[in-house]
Structure 1
Amino acid sequence: MPDAPITVAIDGPSGSGKSSVSKAVARTLGVAYLDTGAMYRALAWWALDRGLDLTDQAAVARAAHDLPLEIGTDPDDVTVRVDGTDVTEAIRQTRISSQVSAVATNLDVRAELRRRQRELIEQARHDHGGVVAEGRDITTVVAPDAEHRILVTASEEARLARRSTELHGGAGAELLAATRDQIVRRDRDDSTVSAFFVPADGVVGIDTSELSFEESVQAVLDVVQAGGAGLTSPAPLHTPETQESR
């Protein structure tokens, strides 16, 4: 656990590896892990379970305020419960992934969930000495005062291959095509309310296109341990050497 409470805020597009990397970084640092994207997914599940039309923005915003959500912050046991029901696996299903953008682009929903996210971050800092929080808006809106702010990105080709392998067990042409809509369309929709392709001022960018998982984790740890985030001027893109270049 760090000597003083820290927040490591990590953003990035779908398939960039931010979730798996964030969990590993939290585990290594001995702090909590918060998947803010799971909160939007949980709300989508809750709204659909109640028969709401996700395009009815006012109704979904009301559901966000009422959402009985419990989200675990243990990087080794990430659980999500809604009204006592374990939805950890259910919110990763295609029916949620294909519709969650309708929830995530609802500005009233974002305001409510950002409020909850800030509360969870403060609680984790108090209880666990810090947190690695990942998801949309984390580096610029939810936790702009985080000690370490990082944007993890990768080429579209790399992101599609990773997500296809994760969802379908391979990255052949047909599997990539099946994954493309989920990645490209969701990023396009989400980008209307959040910027997550280019590091904002003071945010360190890490391109993981050519990095292994272990190298990606180490790249983030290098930034945290060097105290290189949270600068007042634009930070350089952090591109550590790959195994091949060494």
Structure 2
Amino acid sequence: MTVTDAALVVAIDGPSGSGKSSVAKEAARRLGAAYLDTGAMYRAVTWHCLDAGTDLDDADAVAQAVRAAELEISTDPSLERVRIHGTDVTETIRLPFVSEAVSAVATNLDVREEMVRRQRALIAAQPRIVAEGRDITTVVAPDAKTRILLTASEEARLRRRGIQLGEADAAALQRQVIERDAKDSTVSNFTRASDGVITLDSSDLTFEQTVQAVLTLVDEG
């Protein structure tokens, strides 16, 4: 039996700039699987809160806004599309004003409970899926066939995110990568592998080598 023959859930976690989104997406394509970007879901509901004028310091108001959000996200690895109440926010959620605010929403425990519920439903709806984020291996899909913590050195992560963003501002990169990870780590563990989770360090690997390493782990799982 090959990795493309049966039902499959692959869970990949990791810090900002580790390459988990691009690697997970490509792995999903090669596995003939769906792909779930849970980070995009958090960005989308953050945009929703900002667009609605929700006070991000009001935890109850934020949680209520998120519960009410009509969120649609594509699970096709070849089609990136995110909508809130029918509005396409695929590109907008990647803008700096959303990046700067997302931790305030993502660290809200009631929000996380709601998002985990939605993420589990999306995973359950697909016979084969690669899901990535920060708590997929431990909270969202702890029974996944293959669970991977994709890491990289701080230097590599800053370099990759800088190339991705076309961003030369060191302070902005620091906020996007290091500071956000520090905030998000207060509610989820994505820097150290839990029992049964395999650590894959991509610091010295090319993109193709990292994808192949993930596929090998899936095949061996």
SS across alignment from 2:12: strand
Specify the alignment match of 1:81 in structure 2.
83
Q: Deviations over 1:195-246 (max 9, x none)?
A: 001111000100000001111111101100111xxxxxxxxxxxxxxxxxxx
4+ long deviations beyond 4 Å: none
Which of 52, 59, 63 matches 1:57? 59
Distance 2:15 2:47 in 1: 22
Q: Give the alignment's TM-score, normalised by structure 1.
A: 0.87
Query: Aligned residues, how many?
Result: 219
Distance 1:216 1:176 in 2: 26
Instruction: Answer yes or no: is the 8 Å Cα contact 1:164–1:179 preserved in 2.
Output: yes
Deviation at 1:178, TM superposition (A): 3.1
Aligned to 1:158: 156
Report deviation, 1:124.
1.4
160, 178, 181: which one aligns with 2:175: 181
* Runs of at least 5 residues in structure 2 that lack an aligned partner in the other structure: none
Summarize the alignment of residues 22-33 of structure 1 with structure 2, pairs less than 5 Å apart: 22-33=24-35
1:99 is paired with a residue whose SS is: helix
| Structure 1 unpaired stretches of 5+ | 228-246
Percent identical across equivalent pairs? Answer: 61
Q: TM-score, normalised by structure 2?
A: 0.97
Q: Distance in 1 between matches of 2:111 and 2:146?
A: 26
Q: Which amino acid aligns with 1:220?
A: V
- SS of the residue aligned with 2:126? helix
Larger radius of gyration: 1
1:38 partner letter: A
Greater relative contact order: 1 or 2 (C-alpha under 8 angstroms, separation 6 or more)? 2
What whole-Å deviation, never above 9, does each CA across 1:53-102 have from its counterpart, x for those lacking one? 11111011011111101100010102100011100000000000011000
- Give the CA RMSD over aligned residues: 1.1
1:20-43 CA distance string (max 9 Å, x none): 000000000011000011111000
Distance in 1 (CA, whole Å) between partners of 2:195 and 2:133 is: 18
